[in-house]
Amino acid sequence: MILVEGGNEFKFADGSNATKQNASTEDVDAVLSVLGKEIGIDLLAKDLEDKFKHKTGSAIYPGAETGDADTLLDPAEFIKYDPNAAAKDVQNQFRGWLAQKLQRAGYQELPKKASLNQLGKYYKVSGDGLTACVQLPNSQEWLQVDLDIAEPGEGKFSVWSKRGEPNEPGTPKDARAKGAYRHILLAAIGSTIVNQDHPQGLSWSFKNGLFDRATKQTVSKDPNEVANILFGGKASDLDNITAILAKFKQSNPTQYNDVIQKVNAGLENYKTQYRLKESHKVGTPQWFRIVLDLI
């Protein structure tokens, strides 16, 4: 599973990024406010629990630094559709509806691999949704805004699942933690849950949640239930990579090292310097120190 992230859709002919790569949380909120007004959707809306309904990615954290503004929209909230239609068909229907909104706001569609000669109001098809080039208010800079589309009725889970990771300001882009890396970690932890019900273990998907590795059937998409199954935790233990590692180290010290190594091997498929730390060979003094700390 590869989940592409990072504000790389809009480039100039020389291959350089056309949009801002170190946007702050304030920058993200500013462009989401602008685009939301242009297309008639409050992209910064919150639910009754005071959680963002559409905004996701790393900019859900104060003081974030990111290369794009991530949002997630559920077709069930906006359009009428055939309840018997395939999820992909509904997503495509909603994407057409959303594209019309962008066009009426002055955004021009570009082919997927098209480069820019100059900055302007453009959008492209990207993954299950659309991505737009939006100008920062009172600035000459522009920022990529991803308008991802959930399967109908899956918006709440998808917004939670596609939350980003907090990074220290100034962290180089190729060394930042990303939501995709959290999904790799959850899949690795799931593989350790081998029992009578799941003889080949569990796995994780940012779309399908926790699922049986053999049957591919979803076990749970509820964060509290997922955390309890993985390591006797609660939803907040899944908030980010740091929280997950802390809980897993506490609950499964003898498996911790193997999971770290498996995740770091998976990260080699990405152009990133980011790696999980504290990977010690089983039986070494460092490994015993981790186990003793937890006794």
Asked whether residue 5 carries a pLDDT value surpassing 80, the answer given is: no
In this structure, the number of other CB atoms found within 10 A of the CB of residue 105 comes to: 17
Residue pLDDT, tens place only, 80-134: 999 999 999 999 999 999 999 999 999 999 999 999 999 999 999 999 999 999 9
Residue pLDDT, tens place only, 239-291: 999 999 999 999 999 999 999 999 999 999 888 999 998 644 445 554 455 44
At residue 291, the pLDDT reads 47
Going by their DSSP bridges, the two strands 122-126 and 108-109 should be labelled as parallel
At residue 283, the pLDDT reads 55
> By C-alpha distance, which of 143, 179, 149, 122 is closest to 29?
143
Task: Say which DSSP state 295 is in.
Answer: -
Domain ranges of the chain: 23-166, 179-293
Banded model confidence at residue 50, pLDDT cuts 50, 70, 90: very high
Asked whether residue 190 carries a pLDDT value surpassing 60, the answer given is: yes
Greater pLDDT, 71 or 5? 71
Global confidence as pTM: 0.85
At residue 286, the pLDDT reads 47
Mean pLDDT (the chain, rounded): 91
At residue 289, the pLDDT reads 52
Q: What order of strands is seen across the sheet that includes strand 218-220?
A: 202-205, 209-212, 218-220
At residue 287, the pLDDT reads 46
Structure token digits, residue 193: 């849950």
Pairwise CA distance, residues 116 & 110, whole Å: 9
Q: Give the architecture (CATH level 2) of 23-166.
A: 2-Layer Sandwich (3.30)
**Percent of the chain surpassing pLDDT 90:** 85
Paired residues of 124 in beta bridges: 131
At residue 64, the pLDDT reads 87
At residue 292, the pLDDT reads 52
> By C-alpha distance, which of 123, 119, 122 is closest to 139?
119
Average pLDDT of the residues in 184-192: 96
At residue 174, the pLDDT reads 87
**Percent of the chain surpassing pLDDT 70:** 92
How many helices (H) and strands (E) would you count in the chain? 8, 11
Lowest pLDDT segment from 42-46, 65-69, 105-109: 65-69
At residue 162, the pLDDT reads 94
At residue 186, the pLDDT reads 97
Average pLDDT of the residues in 190-206: 95
